[in-house]
């Protein structure tokens, strides 16, 4: 009986139904997850879809290289669409670690918790669609994994030009709390600074004072090398 149960369980674990689960508004497999995609249900203030917009969003470490002090980023930091637009996202993860694209602030009657969520556990690609309301608004787009947004993975989606820029969007807006690298000026820190300042003055001074003797020694060394080279040639 136990052997039969184990065999049935193994077949279930290997079945396509287990490999790719679809629980209402969540689709998940071994590569990633999509939550709250909405390709066809119109927001209550939209009589019809105004436009279809295809957006490719790449995520990864290499996209943060253009921003000083950042570790992760999307390849773009801002998108503009019309009211009631249907947005078709192709999400590409260029890293071997988890990244997400989350769009926040959407109406809760269509999008549970007000968000659309695409997540890849490593390098790969996902596609999902959603429809924005007609409201003139700026939506937050970010990765919600710990410290990823803080390290640069933030962007914004503007509908009808948006209602302003969100804070801390790399390359667009200033941080709410700018990074600070202040020095803790303890007595030992001051002593270390003074030592290296004096050393910076002392080394050139010693070279200047001993310039003549250094030149003589260098000349002798050069002459010795020339003599040895001539003996080897002969």
> Does residue 165 lie within any of the structural domains?
no
pTM > 0.75: yes or no? no
Q: What mean pLDDT comes out for the span 127-136?
A: 97
Same domain, 111 and 205: no
With cut-offs at 50, 70 and 90, classify the pLDDT of residue 32: very high
The H-or-E segment that residue 232 falls in is helix 211-233
In a shared domain, residues 192 and 120:
no
* Domain ranges, residue 196: 187-233
| Domain identity same for 25 and 128 | yes
- Residue range 24-33: mean pLDDT, rounded: 87
Is 41 in the same domain as 124?
Answer: yes
Q: Is the residue at 12 inside a domain?
A: no
Whether 110 has a pLDDT exceeding 50, the answer reads yes
Number of domains in the chain: 2
Residue range 189-221, pLDDT digits in tens: 888 888 989 988 888 888 888 877 777 788 888
CATH number of the domain enclosing 41: 2.60.40.420
Domain match, 145 and 72 both: yes
Q: Are residues 207 and 130 in the same domain?
A: no
Tell me, yes or no, whether 82 lies in a domain: yes
For the chain, percent of residues with pLDDT exceeding 90? 62
Checking if the pLDDT of 118 tops 90, the result is yes
Sheet with 99-104, side-by-side order of all strands: 21-23, 26-28, 32-35, 115-120, 99-104, 137-142, 154-159, 78-81
Write down which residue in 123, 144, 159 finishes a domain: 159
Residues 140 and 229 in one domain: no
Residue 37 forms part of a structural domain: yes
Same domain, 138 and 221: no
Residue 127, in any domain of the structure:
yes
| 21: three-class secondary structure by DSSP | strand
- Residue 178 domain-assigned (yes or no): no
CA distance 97 to 151: 15
Residue 174: how many CA atoms within 13 Å on its side-chain side?
3
> Is position 202 within any domain?
yes
Whether residues 38 and 138 share a domain: the answer is yes
Residues 75 and 123 in one domain: yes
pLDDT of residue 23: 57
Task: Judge whether residue 186 has pLDDT over 70.
Answer: yes
Whether residue 60 lies inside any domain: the answer is: yes
- Shared domain for 27 and 125, answered yes or no, is yes
């Amino acid at each position: 009986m136990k052997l039969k149960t184990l065999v049935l369980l193994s077949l279930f674990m290997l079945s396509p139904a287990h490999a790719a689960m679809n629980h209402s508004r969540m689709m998940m497999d071994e590569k990633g997850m999509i939550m709250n995609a909405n390709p066809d249900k119109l927001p209550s203030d939209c009589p019809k879809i105004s436009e279809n917009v295809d957006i490719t969003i790449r995520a990864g470490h290499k996209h943060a290289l253009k921003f000083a002090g950042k570790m992760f980023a999307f390849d773009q930091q801002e998108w503009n669409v019309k009211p009631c637009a249907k947005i078709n996202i192709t999400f590409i993860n260029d890293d071997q670690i988890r990244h997400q694209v989350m769009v926040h602030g959407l109406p809760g009657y269509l999008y549970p918790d007000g968000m659309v969520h695409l997540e890849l556990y490593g390098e790969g690609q996902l596609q999902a669609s959603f429809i924005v309301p007609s409201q003139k608004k700026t939506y937050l787009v970010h990765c919600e994994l710990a410290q990823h947004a803080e390290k640069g993975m933030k962007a914004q989606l503007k509908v009808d030009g948006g209602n302003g820029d969100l804070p801390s969007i790399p390359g667009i807006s200033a941080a709410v709390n700018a990074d600070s690298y202040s020095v803790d000026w303890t007595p030992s820190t001051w002593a270390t600074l003074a030592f290296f300042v004096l050393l910076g003055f002392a080394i050139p001074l010693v070279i200047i004072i001993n310039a003549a003797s250094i030149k003589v020694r260098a000349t002798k060394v050069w002459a010795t090398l020339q003599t040895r080279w001539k003996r080897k040639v002969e």
